[in-house]
Amino acid sequence: MIVYLNGKFLPLEEAHISVLDRGFIFADGVYEVIPVYGRQLFRLTEHLQRLENSLNSIKLPNPLTQQQWIEILETVIAKNTGENQSIYLQITRGPAKRDHNFPEQSVPTVFVMSDELKPASPSTGVKAITCNDTRWQNCDIKSIALLANILLRRQAIEAGAVEAILIRDGYVMEGSASNVFVVIDGIAITPPKSQFILPGITRDLIIEAMQTAYLPCKEADISVEQLESATEIWVTSSTKEILPVIQLDEKTVGTGKPGVVWSQVWEIYQNYKQKLYS
């Protein structure tokens, strides 16, 4: 695998950073995961805009221009195999003497790698559990500090599930690494954007695609009771796409099979992807 690190394209084994990197010491950095279909970056403008927002939130100037980002990302794609790839990029505040206060001038570490993109087969659906949202109050920043998310995901895995749906004060926020949609009375609902959820690119695309297709979809708060009574639940992300949840905790969701609204939206999503590179 060829990766990008601080101006160079290198084999993964040759990419090294300082142990004093603030990403390593403090998780002081942000990231993006961008899907690539047919060797084309998917929703790139939106991902770069969210990256800009995350960098602004942590007071770290973007070290690269939009054009430089595009060149680096396209080179990483070209240097790796696979029609479909998952591009991971990370920017940290770089190496510095350990101090909670960050230096005014630091040289950020910029890292990009590619992984294979293989969304789980959605035809059978998956299990999810509900968990108390133990994360901080800046979940809209795509921060590399993910310990709470990791522990919540682990809780799901140990319960034989693939995702944890996070509840804060009786309301659904999102998954440990995904956004959540429910279907109630035929209407798809997802929580509104706030400091408590990551503004998912997949989420936004689903809303946009459903509106274009005149399928009912809205952004509204979802209580735990509504979650439990939903006929469909989906978790969405750049790597999962739109994954139907057919079991929530110990209860069957809807008919226990991926729902009819999900199958319509899934097809629209697949067609949208197809158009990108056909």
Q: In the numeric block, which tokens belong to residue 186? A: 């035929």
Contact with ligand PDD (CB under 6 A) among 21, 172, 202, 233:
202
Which residue number, 54 or 238, has a Cβ lying nearer to ligand PDD?
238
By beta-carbon proximity to ligand PDD, the closer residue of 211 and 255 is 211
Is residue 178 part of the contact set for ligand PDD (CB under 6 A)? Answer: yes
Binding of ligand PDD by 198 (CB under 6 A): yes
Position 162 contacts ligand PDD (CB under 6 A): no
Other beta carbons within 10 Å of 191? 21
Report if residue 238 touches ligand PDD, rule: CB under 6 A: yes
Query: Among 174, 181, 189, 273, which residue sits at the site for ligand PDD (rule: CB under 6 A)?
Result: 174
What pairing do the DSSP bridges indicate for beta strands 126-132 and 163-168?
Answer: parallel
- For residue 222, give the DSSP letter: -
Does 237 contact ligand PDD by CB under 6 A?
A: yes
* Of 95, 200, 254, 259, the one binding ligand PDD by CB under 6 A: 200
Q: What share of the chain is helix, strand, coil (3-state, %, to 5)?
A: 30, 30, 40
Scanning the structure block, which residue is given the tokens 């002081």?
28
State the DSSP string of 88-106: EEEEE--B--S-SSPPSS-
Distance CA 11, CA 216 (A): 47
Residue 177 binds ligand PDD, judged by CB under 6 A: yes
By CB under 6 A, residue 53 contacts ligand PDD: no
191 binds ligand PDD (CB under 6 A): no
Residues 183, 210 contacting (CB under 8 angstroms):
no
> CB under 6 A: which stretch of 72-80, 232-240, 256-264, 268-276 binds ligand PDD?
232-240
Task: Tell me if 36 contacts ligand PDD by CB under 6 A.
Answer: no
Q: For this structure, is 118 an active site residue?
A: no
The neighbouring-strand residues paired with 40 are 37
In Å, how far are 129, 140, 225, 226 from 221, measured between CA atoms? Answer: 19, 16, 11, 9
**Considering beta carbons, is residue 96 or 126 the nearer one to ligand PDD?**
126
Question: How far is C-alpha 254 from the chain's CA centre?
Answer: 26
Task: Please report whether residue 133 would count as binding ligand PDD according to CB under 6 A.
Answer: no
Active site residue: 8, 97, 142, 257, which one? 142
| Footprint of ligand PDD (CB under 6 A) | 33, 149, 174, 177-179, 198, 200-203, 236-239
Q: What residues act catalytically?
A: 142
